[in-house]
Amino acid sequence: MPTPILMPALSPTMEEGVLAKWNVKEGDTVSSGDIIAEIETDKATMEVEAVDEGVVGKILVAEGSEGVKVNALIAVLLEEGESAGDIDLSKFGGGASGAASSFETPKLSASAPQDEAVSGQAKKSLHREEGAKAPVSKDEGVKSNGRVHASPLARRIAGNEGLDLALLSGTGPHGRIVKRDIEKALKEGVGQARAPAGAQFVPAPASVDARLYPPESYEAVKLSGMRKVIAKRLNQSFNQEVPHFPLNMDIELDTLLAARARINATSPKEGESAFKISVNDFIIKASALALMKAPAANATYTEEAILLHKNADIGVAVAIEGGLITPIVWKAQTKGLKQISIEVKDMASRAKTRKLKPEEYQGGTFSVSNLGMFGISSFASIVNQPQGAILSVGAGAQRPVVKNGKLEIATVMTVTLTCDHRVVDGAVGAEFLNAFKQFIEEPAAMLL
C-alpha cells in the first residue's frame, strides 16, 4: 500500500519548519538513504533521507512552504505495481485538506487590499518581488513559491559578499543561480543588497503607523524563522521567566597576549597541522576551568531541582545571516587550546552555511559572547535558557592602572557575567569571575 512521507522532527524541540527544497519530483524512483528534500529549521538546513524505497506518487507540500508542522503529511511513496490512483489521502489523516491544514504555503496575495498605505517604496518592493517570480518561459524559473533557486556554493558566496540573490538571474539548469552568476554579479557590481542576502521584501506591515513611518521611507523585510525564534525566546528569558542581574570585572590581558604570541609564533603555518590560537580560545578554556572551580555557577534551574552539571559545555555565540547561533564546545574543561580552536573555527564556518547538526548547538551549560573584536568595551547579554549564566566579553584596550602605588599602562578588558538569579547568586557569580580572572591573568595556571 502507499507509504506516507511525514515532516520529520530534526531536533527534540522542533515543532515546525520550512520545506526548503525537493530533490525529487513525482514519478521519481527513490531508494532508502536517498536525499529527497531539504528542511530549514530556525538554526540550520538539514537533508532528509528516504527510509523506504518506491516511486514518488504525490507531493503534497510545495518547496518553499513555511510553518510545516512536524508529522504533517508532505508526500506519498508508491510500492511496485501501484499508481497514483491507489492513493487515498483519507487514510493518512483526513484527506487532502486535513493533510494541508497544519501549514501555510507562502505567497503574495494578488487580491490583498492595495490601499494608500501600501505605496511608494513598499509597492516598489512588492513589485520587485512579484516581477522576480515571473515565469521564465519553458523552465521552472528562478523562483518557486518565493524561494530563490541557487546552488549551496552560490548561496554561501552571495552571503559572504552581501549579494541579494533575488536581484540576480541564473544560468544554471531551470534558471538556477550558480557560482558563475555570482562571479559575474561581483564583477559587474550588481545585486548588492541593502538588506541581508536572501531577504524577502513584503508590503508595509499593517501594525506600522504610516504617520510615524511613511511606507515610502523604508523597505519591509520578512521575518525569518530564526529571527522569530530569537525574539520569542529572548522575550521569555528577559521579561517573563529569568530574573537577570549582571556582575562586571576588569581583567588584565598582557600576560595572556604574550603567551598567545609565543604559541602562534612556534605553531605550524601551513598544512593540516597549522593552527592559530585566538584570545577567544583562551576565554573559552578559562570559562570551562572556572566553572570547575565554581561548580554552583555551572547549573540549570528547574521547577523540581537545580541541575549541577558535571561538564563545562560552552556555547560560543556566532553571528550568522538573520540572527545568532551558539555552537557548543562539549566538555571544554578536558580540551586543549588547539582542539578548542579547531572545533570553534569548524563549527563557526558551518554555522554560517546552516550546516550544523542540532546536537551541535542545542543544550550546553554556559555561554560566551565576545564582541571585543567589534570594538565594544562592555555589554550585558541575555541568559540563554536553560543555562544559568552567560559571559559577555568586551575589547581589550590600554588603560591606566595602579600597581604598587604607581600609575602604569596595561591592556584591560571588561567582562560581564549575566546570571539567572534563581540559580546563580551574587556570591556564586563572584566566585566564578575571580577564578576566571586568575586563569586569564596567569594562563599558565590552565596547565595545572
- Please identify every residue annotated as catalytic: 421
Task: Report the chain's terminal Cα–Cα distance, integer Å.
Answer: 64
CB-count exposure of residue 115 (10 Å: 0-12, 13-18, 19+) = exposed
Nearest to 308 by CA among 362, 358, 359, 366: 366
Buried b (16+ CB within 10 A) or exposed e, 317-339: bbebbbbbbbbbbbebbebebee
* Among candidate residues 224, 331, 287, 296, the one with its CA nearest the CA of residue 438: 287
Could you write out the DSSP letters of every residue in 247-284?
A: EEEEEE-HHHHHHHHHHHHHS--SSTT-----HHHHHH
DSSP 126: H
Reading the block at residue 67, the C-alpha cell is 510553518
Q: Quick check: 287 and 275 in contact, CB under 8 A?
A: no
DSSP string, 206-225: TTS-TTTS-GGG--EEPPPH
How many angstroms separate the CA atoms of 363 and 367, rounded?
10
Instruction: Give the C-alpha separation, 379 to 273, whole Å.
Output: 36
Q: In this structure, what C-alpha cell is assigned to residue 447?
A: 596547565
